[in-house]
Amino acid sequence: MSVPEPVHPRAVSVVLHDVAPATWPACEALLRMIDGCGQVPVTLLVVPDYHHRGGIEADARFRRAIEARLARGDELALHGFHHIDDTAAAPRGPLQWLTRRVYTASEGEFAALEENAAEALLGRGLAIFDALGWPVAGFVAPAWLMSDGTRAALTRSGLQYTSTRTALYRLPDWRQTGHPSLVWSVRSAWRRAASRVVNDIQHRRLRHAPLLRLGLHPADAPHPAAVVYWQRTLQQALVDRRPMTKSAWLAAGA
């Protein structure tokens, strides 16, 4: 008698970007909303020195908060180092200028790095996690922008995964899994209005996708429309999807 192959679970993965001491009050507000929806493990994208405003090692309250989240079942991923695109390399052409300076508000830290520079920043970030005793399996570039040099450095990094807005990748072979992430842009009223429309369309397209990714940012917290959207979307997803971190999704065989 043949044994049927296991069916991969339909899942929802909640990802909180830009986690750092400077953003932690807004992160806490979003996490309270998420926790209110049920037992939902969250992938926390931690920035070691957000906007050069002080390293995570120096903030004992932040460290305790992160360790409490780990004890609840959350996972950590490295999210750049400073989360700001202050490299000396100028944008190459109008499209890159728009992407690096306007669309992402100069936060695509790994968008233009050469391989050696990317490898050095990755190493610094991973060393901080290691010194704190924090497990880390993944890396997500700020604004999801990665240069060819960054991709080469990640291949040798020893990390298990990375992701962009459109997909999740196993490392080191860059095998693609997953689907586009839902995400809001809240920097202006027209962006918030557009985000609602675009996300509603994308959500309908992804209703049968094995993995639904929800990409929240601390900047969403002061905007009730964004928070209500995330709460409603997560509650709907939990009806027939299992909440899983990115690492758990990959470990399940995606």
Give me the pLDDT at residue 22, please. 96
Q: Which long-range contacts link 89-95 to residues 24+ away (Cβ below 8 Å)?
A: 89/113
Give me the pLDDT at residue 95, please. 46
Give me the pLDDT at residue 101, please. 46
Measured CA to CA in angstroms, residue 10 lies from 5, 209, 232, 240, 250 at distances of 15, 8, 18, 7, 13
- SS3 state at 11: strand
Give me the pLDDT at residue 124, please. 97
User: Residues near 99 by Cβ (< 8 Å), separated by ≥ 6?
Assistant: 91, 108, 111, 145
Task: Compute the residue count for the chain.
Answer: 254
In degrees rounded to 5, what are phi and psi of residue 111? -70, -30
Q: Which amino acid is at 113?
A: L
- Which H or E run includes 87? none
Give me the pLDDT at residue 231, please. 98
- pLDDT tens across the length of the chain (254 residues): 443 434 567 999 999 999 999 999 999 999 999 999 999 999 999 999 999 998 999 999 999 999 999 999 999 999 999 988 766 455 555 544 345 444 555 667 998 899 999 999 999 999 999 999 999 999 999 999 999 999 999 999 999 999 999 999 999 999 998 789 999 999 889 999 999 999 999 999 999 999 999 999 999 999 999 999 999 999 999 999 999 999 999 998 86
Task: Let me know: does 124 contact 90? Beta carbons within 8 Å.
Answer: no
Q: Buried b / exposed e across 96-122, counting CB within 10 Å, b at 16+? A: beebbeeebeebbbbbbbbbebbbebb
Give me the pLDDT at residue 230, please. 98
User: Residues near 82 by Cβ (< 8 Å), separated by ≥ 6?
Assistant: 47, 48, 49, 50, 51, 52, 109
How far is residue 169's CA from residue 161's CA, in Å, rounded to a whole number? 6
Structural domains of the chain, ranges and CATH numbers in brackets: 11-251 (3.20.20.370)
Tokens of 168: 């999740």
Closest CA to 109 of 48, 167, 66, 59: 48
Closest CA to 47 of 15, 80, 8, 69: 80
Q: Spell out where the chain has E strands.
A: 11-19, 42-46, 75-78, 138-140, 161-163, 168-170, 175-177, 181-183, 211-216, 242-243
Give me the pLDDT at residue 8, please. 61
The C-alpha angle with vertex 42 and arms to 14 and 72, in degrees rounded to 5, equals 155
Torsion from C-alpha of 162, 163, 169, 174, nearest 10 degrees: -70
Query: Do the strands 181-183 and 175-177 form a parallel or antiparallel pair, or are they unpaired?
Result: unpaired
Give me the pLDDT at residue 108, please. 73
